[in-house]
Amino acid sequence: RKEVEQDPGPFNVPEGATVAFNCTYSNSASQSFFWYRQDCRKEPKLLMSVYSSGNEDGRFTAQLNRASQYISLLIRDSKLSDSATYLCVVNGYYGQNFVFGPGTRLSVLP
């Protein structure tokens, strides 16, 4: 089983739609959780950290369920500019690497 798994995608949604991505991780000792965004032929960039209580940043909402080892990202009112690959990232204790999921590609269509 891979350490971090994501919805395979791609997701093709119309502008204005709400879309949700799911991610599961296998290491119960993981401590930090993130969503990164990667545009075509660009480097990954931090979208948001994910906190235990859940957090929101504008149209983006991230949730963490430690018991189920599950992370989600919800995008409301999708924009064309949201088209990208979304990477789920998990980090463990000191000395542990950041582990990236394979990514879920989103295409927002006009």
Residues in contact with another protein by CB under 8 A are 31-32, 34, 41-46, 49, 87, 89, 91-103
- Which CB atom, from 92 or from 107, has the smaller least distance to another protein? 92
* Least separation in angstroms between CB 69 and another protein: 16
- Which CB atom, from 42 or from 79, has the smaller least distance to another protein? 42
* Least separation in angstroms between CB 66 and another protein: 13
- Which CB atom, from 47 or from 108, has the smaller least distance to another protein? 47
- Which CB atom, from 19 or from 96, has the smaller least distance to another protein? 96
* Least separation in angstroms between CB 57 and another protein: 14
Q: What is the 3-state secondary structure of the chain?
A: CCCEEECCCCEEEECCCCEEEEEEECCCCCCEEEEEEECCCCCCEEEEEECCCCEEECCEEEEEECCCCEEEEEECCCCHHHCEEEEEEEECCCCCCEEECCCEEEEEEC
